[in-house]
């Protein structure tokens, strides 16, 4: 543990909610909270400087000062937790790249599900998607609105190494906050069809799912003394995990799935769950 949490703030409602959530986490973990903003020249200004070999440093200094002022206003607006070790940081560059790079020295990076400007119209903010692809540490994606406390953490498993790491993270977190851990395995119809083409039966699919869940429950109980239950559920992983998020405090997923068809599927599943979940989603590499 590095006892450092990074949260990206750009003034959007989602990033303010991410800041609020990250501050609460920093307080409960007694970690340093690094509130990070990223600034750069506008596309038109950057185009005007191409080939000139000159960037107006006075303008860049102004952008940095504006960024720091925005971070200070955001903290004053949403954070009311005396004693939190909080620092501001304004970085020049590409937001996704800067946050991902900073994540190399953090326990996790927190971002909102979408940001300001045109990216809000996308299914997932472009900066958030970029951080998910590049960040070496877990990434927490926070929606614009958070529900009430449920005392439950949900983790999606599929038997892969990536989902094992997500399971370990979720079990450790459940133990830390004394929450119930709910393990979900989604049996996707298209994957079942591919099994049938190979001559595998529906019964085999159910047995396989049962073995994955049984193993996951056993591993989780080695890491937490709080309640653990496991369930295999028919449906697309995105739909299953998004539905479960309505009654959870966290949903935890791995960044990739196991071999074959799920390996192509699960990366998009992680992003889709981040875009539509009703609670924060933790993506573990």
Answer for the pair 187, 239: CB distance below 8 angstroms, yes or no: no
CA-CA distance, 242 to 113, in Å (whole number)?
A: 14
pLDDT in tens, 106-131: 999 999 987 544 333 334 678 898 99
Q: Which CATH superfamily is domain 4-142 in?
A: HUPs (3.40.50.620)
Question: What pLDDT is recorded for position 261?
Answer: 35
Q: Where are the domains of the chain?
A: 4-142, 152-284
Query: Per-residue pLDDT tens for 66-108?
Result: 999 999 999 999 888 888 899 999 999 999 999 999 999 999 9
Per CATH, 4-142 and 152-284 having the same topology is answered yes
pLDDT digits (tens, 9 = 90+) for 154-201: 999 999 899 999 999 999 999 999 999 999 999 875 555 555 555 545
3-state helix, strand, coil in the chain (%, to 5): 50, 20, 30
**DSSP code of residue 229:** E
pLDDT at 64: 92
How confident is the prediction for the chain on average, in pLDDT?
85
Among 3.10.20.30, 3.40.50.620, 3.90.930.60, 3.90.550.60, name the CATH number for the domain at 152-284.
3.40.50.620
Q: What is the mean predicted confidence (pLDDT) over 247-263? A: 73
C-alpha–C-alpha distance, residues 72 and 112, integer Å? 18
């Amino acid at each position: 543990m590095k006892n450092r949490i990074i949260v990206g703030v750009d003034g959007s409602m989602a990033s303010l909610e991410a800041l609020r959530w990250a501050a609460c986490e920093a307080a409960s973990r007694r970690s340093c909270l690094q509130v990070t903003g990223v600034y750069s020249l506008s596309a038109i200004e950057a185009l005007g400087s191409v080939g000139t070999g000159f960037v107006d440093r006075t303008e860049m200094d102004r952008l940095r000062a504006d960024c720091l002022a925005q971070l200070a206003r955001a903290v004053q607006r949403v954070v009311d937790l005396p004693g939190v070790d909080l620092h501001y940081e304004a970085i020049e560059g590409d937001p996704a790249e800067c946050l991902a790079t900073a994540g190399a020295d953090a326990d996790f990076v927190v971002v909102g599900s979408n940001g300001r400007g045109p990216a809000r119209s996308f299914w997932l903010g472009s900066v958030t998607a970029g951080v998910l692809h590049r960040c070496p540490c877990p990434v927490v994606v926070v929606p614009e609105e958070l529900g009430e406390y449920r005392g439950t953490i949900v983790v999606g498993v599929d038997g892969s190494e990536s989902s094992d790491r997500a399971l370990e993270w979720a079990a450790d977190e459940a133990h830390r906050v004394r929450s119930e851990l709910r393990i979900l395995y989604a049996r996707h119809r298209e994957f079942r069809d591919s099994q049938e083409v190979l001559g595998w039966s529906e019964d085999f699919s159910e047995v396989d799912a049962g073995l994955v869940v049984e193993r996951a429950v056993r591993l989780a109980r080695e890491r937490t003394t709080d309640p653990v239950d496991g369930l295999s559920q028919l449906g697309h992983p995105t739909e299953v995990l998004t539905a479960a998020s309505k009654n959870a405090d966290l949903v935890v997923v791995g960044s990739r799935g196991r071999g074959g068809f799920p390996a192509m599927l699960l990366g998009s599943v992680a992003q889709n769950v981040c875009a539509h979940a009703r609670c924060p989603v933790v993506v573990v590499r």
